[in-house]
Structure 1
Amino acid sequence: MVTSVTKGIQVDVEAKYQAEFSNPHQHHYVFTYKVTIINKSQHTFQLLKRKWEIFDAADNHKMVEGLGVVGQQPILEPGEVHTYVSGCNLISGMGKMKGTFTMEKLFDGQLLEVSIPEFQLIATIFDN
């Protein structure tokens, strides 16, 4: 697991290779990642947008941007936690992801760019 904290918003990420949905002979590797967002600040925030950078060992790079996460724009009061699971496909068995969440402080409308820590995507037959 990797962790980053931006002005009291903690983001933890765990990635897992999904061998049962992958086909290495056809250069198709599936990964899931679990993201946990913890509001350790004294303010209420709403997650508005996400932006991901996805890299793989075949030298591919793509940007993915959109509203919310998995169809939600959660509001986190101080001390609250939001967890979700998503996934990505790569054409090689190794890669990495990193990104940002745009969050709005509901008290005054101030926007905050929250760092999503870089994490590795590695296909292994021993992954648990």
Structure 2
Amino acid sequence: MNTPEAPTTPYCIEVSAKAEYVASQSRPEDEHYVFAYHITIRNTGSEPAQLISRHWVITDGNGKMQEVHGQGVIGEQPLLAPGESFRYTSGCVMETPVGTMHGSYQMLARDGHRFNANIAPFMLAMPRILH
């Protein structure tokens, strides 16, 4: 029995994130912990879409939240055709050796439709701090 192919959603952006601790820029004695995060944004929809802006929520180990809003990412507003990916690296500073980040990208499809691409929470952690 043949199963019908799932219809392609016109507006679908997948985001994956990987974080790493930057020891060379961190100063634990001053509660200054630096993390780099590597992001891959992939258009899995059927409509070209441009990343217009970003919204990040960064929460440290004490529950202190920082919100970051801004245009584009690393000075760019990439336009992704269906199947295309965009990769970049950025960073953040926290007062604790452990925290989390999550957020969303605000996207604009070629047909004028605006939508959010959600960024699932990911961990920021100094090595050997978590079991």
TM-score for the superposition, normalised by structure 2: 0.87
Task: Give 1 or 2: higher strand fraction.
Answer: 1
What's 1:109 paired with?
A: 112
Higher Rg: 2
Q: Deviations over 1:36-59 (max 9, x none)?
A: 001111110000000000100122
Q: Percent identical across equivalent pairs?
A: 38
SS in 1 for 2:96: coil
Matched residue pairs, number? 119
- 8 Å CA contact 1:19, 1:125 repeated in 2: no
- 8 Å CA contact 2:53, 2:107 repeated in 1: yes
SS in 2 for 1:15: strand
2:37 to 15, 33, 37: 33
- 8 Å CA contact 2:102, 2:122 repeated in 1: yes
What's 1:8 paired with?
A: 12
SS in 1 for 2:37: strand
Q: Deviations over 1:46-82 (max 9, x none)?
A: 0000000010012211110000001000000011110
SS in 1 for 2:62: coil
Letter in 2 for 1:89: V
2:128 & 2:86 partners in 1: Cα distance?
A: 30
TM-score for the superposition, normalised by structure 1: 0.89
2:102 to 98, 103, 107: 98
Runs of 5+ consecutive residues of structure 2 not aligned to the other structure = 1-10
Post-superposition offset of 1:20: 1.1
